[in-house]
Structure 1
Amino acid sequence: MAGTDRTPVTVIGLGLMGQALASAFVAAGHPTTVWNRSADKAAAVVEQGAVLADTPAEAVAASELLVVCLLDNDAVHAVLDPVAGSLAGRVVANLTSGSSDQARENAAWAEEVGFSYLDAAIMTVPAAVGAPESVVFYSGPREAYDRHGDTLRLLGGGTTHLGEDHALSALYDVSLLGVMWGTLNSFLQGAALLSTAEVKAADFLPLALRWIDTVKLFATDYAAQIDRKDGAFPANDATMEVHLGAVQHLLHESEAQGVNAELPRFVHGLMERTVAEGFGQNSYASMSELFRTPRK
């Protein structure tokens, strides 16, 4: 049963993630109101103790804290624009995936309407919402986050406020997804290469994970080099010329073993350009100069 001392919260949007968010609030004893365009998706959380609102207006009126998790930014406005007059004084935490420019536009809209807007990014899957290791990023007014921080942190032990700039959540989101895809793509490339020698991916995995731990040390050094902004990029582990020579082996093996060579060929091209720009004797961190500049 919801505790009378717990902050009421409204969850708008009951896809798989929205249902998980609502369930976390209900489980913690918060009076939880939910709304979804298709009411049948509310059945499970209503059974757990949530209250189904008949309209978005009714859902907004039920709580000061609104948690929104819809398909996209257009869906957010389709639901909230008609009830904008009822949003004044409330806190809207938007967990809908979006871009940094959308976050800033929504913040400007919120200021015009008169409510506090937190943009957010969920760095987990529905089944892990509320787990200690799960992370949810929020950006926007610190006061609004602090006002409802205890409630919002129910969604994951790693929940954190990134700063006042509303764009930060979206920027961190896509940057971390890039790390994920880069790591996974490299693992899959390696597994494909080893499969030509009948090596199972499961046998490759322990060594790959151990190597990722070593790569963390490289990244720690490179982060400091990038942040110094002095263009020095000392080669404390290997020069770009050494890296270029090594990636040529990966490219050769991929082509020779008959596996897809697009990824190593792409990386090889980036390294060649970095060396051509004069960074041959610098560290791999010098590649950041290439990534910071759009290609003409």
Structure 2
Amino acid sequence: MIAARPCFAEPRIRTRPKDDTTMSTISVLGTGLMGSAVASTLIDAGHTVTVWNRSADKSAPLVAKGARRADSVAEAINASDITFSHVLSSAMGFDLVRAAEGEVDWNGKLFVNLSTGTPDSALAFGDYLTSHGGGYADGVISAYPDDIGTNTAIVQYAAADEVWATLEPIAKIISPAAYVYVGSQLDAPNVIDPAVTGAVYSVGYGAFLESAAYVASRGIAPKHLIAGADKMIDLLRHSIHASIGLLEKGSWESDQSTVDAYHAAVIQWRDTMLESGNRAAYFGALLENLEAAREAGYGQLGFHAQFKTAVVAHGAD
């Protein structure tokens, strides 16, 4: 079990350098929307920032703000103590770093990959950097570019403890209220990302939009969903927190609704939407999971018992 350790700063809207802050030299690879937001926030905090982008003109606004533009990846990395990667993917960042082999002295340098990637790519990237004498951190951003530097941004990091000690003051600037250290297992952020940003947010939001279309097709304005949706979001938060303890204990009983009860309700909800001529794709996926739990004999257990049948065996005859 990976223990996440959230770090909380004092509430504030935008970060500003404190008098006792030690300024760092920081490079940012990739100046798209997210990379530009990170670089701009670090410039505002008083750090010396170097930027690189394959299309140099995209870095112009940051240069006008005080950043230095590097002509190559190697030049950018060599210019700073810490480099953040915000290119299209972790794999692309890895390719860029390997292409600069022999041109970079990694001794004492820290590389932070915040590009979207896979667990395996994080492990391979980390092995490469540490074998070349550099420090490595991998992370995922659960925020939009406009959130960077505000209390609504959440960024989760994995790194060796000594690397995190160096990175933490900078992490605090990028997401003041929620910079989360999940430990030294480098693939952890990319394991967590599809579970949280993918499933909890993206699937949840998609399911809401599907249901809003159903409501509108029945002549009801989607705005009437707000009160109930707010209540369900609060209930979802409570259920997630409660289920974590149950999963860790291996406790599957519930004095609330069972798998069987939810199964019967979801069939009715799905059929109602289908009969109205609407898609019910998210209900279909939920039913598949509930039916797997029932087939395993968990119908009288709590809704969270789906956890027990969520792993699909590979390579079975």
Normalising by structure 1, what TM-score? 0.93
Deviation at 1:245, TM superposition (A): 1.0
1:117 is matched with which residue: 136, 141, 144? 136
Divergent runs of 4+, >4 A: 2-5
Separation of aligned partners in 2, 1:153 and 1:249: 47
1:292 is matched with which residue: 302, 311, 314? 311
Structure 1 or 2: more helix by fraction: 1
Deviations 1:58-108 (A, max 9, x none): 212211111111112332133211333422321001111101111011111
Q: 5 Å matches for 1:108-187?
A: 108-157=127-176, 158-177=178-197, 178-187=199-208
- Find the counterpart in structure 2 of residue 242 from structure 1: 261
Letter in 2 for 1:57: A
- Find the counterpart in structure 2 of residue 209 from structure 1: 230
Letter in 2 for 1:73: S
- Find the counterpart in structure 2 of residue 227 from structure 1: 248
Separation of aligned partners in 2, 1:68 and 1:170: 15
Separation of aligned partners in 2, 1:273 and 1:79: 44
Deviations 1:47-66 (A, max 9, x none): 11101112222212211111
Give the length in aligned residue pairs. 293
1:70 is matched with which residue: 87, 95, 115? 87
1:283 is matched with which residue: 279, 292, 302? 302
Relative contact order higher in (CA < 8 Å, ≥ 6 apart) = 2
When structure 1 is superposed on structure 2, of 69-78 and 15-24 the one drifting more is 69-78
Separation of aligned partners in 1, 2:32 and 2:236: 37
Structure 2: gaps of 5 or more residues? 1-16
Contact 2:143 2:154 (8 Å CA) reproduced: yes
Deviations 1:217-260 (A, max 9, x none): 2223322221113xx41122111111111111112201221111
Separation of aligned partners in 2, 1:131 and 1:294: 42
> CA separation of 1:29/1:263 partners in 2, compared to 1, >3 Å: closer, same or farther?
same
2:53 is matched with which residue: 17, 36, 40? 36
What SS does the aligned partner of 1:278 have? coil
Q: 5 Å matches for 1:41-52?
A: 41-52=58-69
Residues 1:25 and 2:42 aligned together: yes
Separation of aligned partners in 2, 1:132 and 1:22: 17
1:265 is matched with which residue: 281, 284, 309? 284
When structure 1 is superposed on structure 2, of 150-159 and 23-32 the one drifting more is 150-159
What SS does the aligned partner of 2:100 have? helix
2:107 is matched with which residue: 70, 88, 96? 88
Separation of aligned partners in 2, 1:239 and 1:108: 45
Structure 1: gaps of 5 or more residues? none
Letter in 1 for 2:272: E
2:32 is matched with which residue: 15, 19, 27? 15
What SS does the aligned partner of 2:27 have? strand
Contact 1:10 1:63 (8 Å CA) reproduced: yes
CA RMSD between the two structures = 1.9
Deviation at 1:169, TM superposition (A): 1.0
Contact 1:84 1:113 (8 Å CA) reproduced: no
Separation of aligned partners in 2, 1:128 and 1:197: 36
Letter in 2 for 1:75: M
Deviation at 1:5, TM superposition (A): 4.8
- Find the counterpart in structure 2 of residue 274 from structure 1: 293
Normalising by structure 2, what TM-score? 0.87
Separation of aligned partners in 2, 1:215 and 1:76: 36
